[in-house]
Amino acid sequence: MKITILGTGTSQGVPVIACDCMVCLSSNPKDNRLRSSVMIEVDDLNLVIDTGPDFRQQMLREKVDKVDSILFTHHHKDHVAGMDDIRAFNHKWKADMPIYCTKQTSEALKLEFPYIFSGFNYPGIPKVGINVIENKPFNIQGTIIKPIEVLHYKLPVLGFRIKNFVYLTDVSEISEKEKEKLKGADLIILDALRKKAHISHFNLEQALALLDELKPKQALLTHISHFMGLHDKVNNELPKHINLAYDGQSVTLNE
Ligand SMILES: [Zn+2]
Ligand SMILES: [Zn+2]
Ligand SMILES: [Zn+2]
């Protein structure tokens, strides 16, 4: 299984427009963060979690030829805004794009992209097939995916476990029951917005505390704001098996 990190930035991305802080002006490419998303190559599938505003750029950068399905964590703009660009895959593969999301997310997508769901088949619009999922395991062509339901302030958000990999972004609270699903993972990619507390995201301290409890072999932190500080400096302060993720990073896991 190969995980490619498409983006690691918070909703505004880094650099932030018109910001002249040290992080936004940094010349280290690891301080440039597109909106958070990952791609997972597993079995014969290529899955993408979330299509934020940078989806097009991410697909081009990683030279992605085919996406088999898209999973959505939740409907916030920084996770869905790029969905229109799945059209390229519709054209290339002459097939609808299957998407997997909760009922709440699907309703938000219908409001966000009314032209996709109007029933009027205007030439050139994205073609998607929605699969409504709940907080129970489902499979895509035999590959089992386990949702993990957490809270993002008051909004229920899904994380996903696929074999020994967990992706969990936009989280500020996780129940003991859902925590069980994260145990024994080889790699956890987890939300850590910044050092200061935030109402709807784990800060660095909360993310590290959860990882200390779960003890995955390896963890990467994502959905990072410019307030986190410089990548290299913050990364050096972390335990050995935990790192700040960076855009374009890839990790291969033995299943
Ligand atoms: Zn977000
Ligand atoms: Zn800045
Ligand atoms: Zn969000």
User: How far is the centre of ligand 3, averaged over its atoms, from the C-alpha of 209 (Å)?
Assistant: 21
Query: In the prediction, which pLDDT does 3 show?
Result: 98
Contact 223, 170 (CB under 8 A): yes
Cα 152 to averaged position of ligand 3 atoms, centre (Å) = 7
Residue-by-residue pLDDT tens, the chain, 255 positions? 999 999 999 999 999 999 999 999 999 999 999 999 999 999 999 999 999 999 999 999 999 999 999 999 999 999 999 999 999 999 999 999 999 999 999 999 999 999 999 988 888 999 999 999 999 999 999 999 999 999 999 999 999 999 999 999 999 999 999 999 999 999 999 999 999 999 999 999 999 999 999 999 999 999 999 999 999 999 999 999 999 999 999 999 998
Q: Report the C-alpha gap between 81 and 59 in whole angstroms.
A: 14
Please tell me the predicted confidence (pLDDT) of residue 106: 98
Q: What is the rounded end-to-end Cα distance, in angstroms, of the chain?
A: 7
Question: Which residues lie at CB < 5 A from ion ligand 2?
Answer: 16, 19, 21, 24, 226
* Structure confidence at residue 153 (pLDDT): 97
CA 221 – ligand 1 centroid, Å: 13
- Ligand 2 centre distance from Cα of residue 26 (Å): 9
The ligand placed nearest to the CA atom of residue 8 is 1
3-class secondary structure, 235:
helix
b/e for 209-235, b at 16 or more Cβ within 10 A?
ebbeebebebbbbbbbbbbbbbbeebb
SS3 at position 234: helix
Q: Please tell me the distance between residue 200's alpha carbon and the centre of ligand 1 in angstroms.
A: 9
What is the pLDDT at residue 120? Answer: 85
Of the ligands numbered here, which is closest to the C-alpha atom of 108? Answer: 3
Ligand 3 centroid from CA 153, angstroms: 9
How remote is the CA of residue 19 from the centroid of ligand 2, in Å?
5
Instruction: Report pLDDT for 123.
Output: 85
CA 72 to ligand 1 centroid distance, Å: 11
Expressed in angstroms and rounded, the spacing between residue 196 Cα and the centre of ligand 2 is 15
Please give the pLDDT value at position 105. 98
Closest ligand (CA of 33): 2
Burial class (CB in 10 A: 0-12, 13-18, 19+), 96: middle
What is the 50 CA–ligand 3 centroid distance (Å)?
11
123 CA → ligand 1 middle, Å:
31
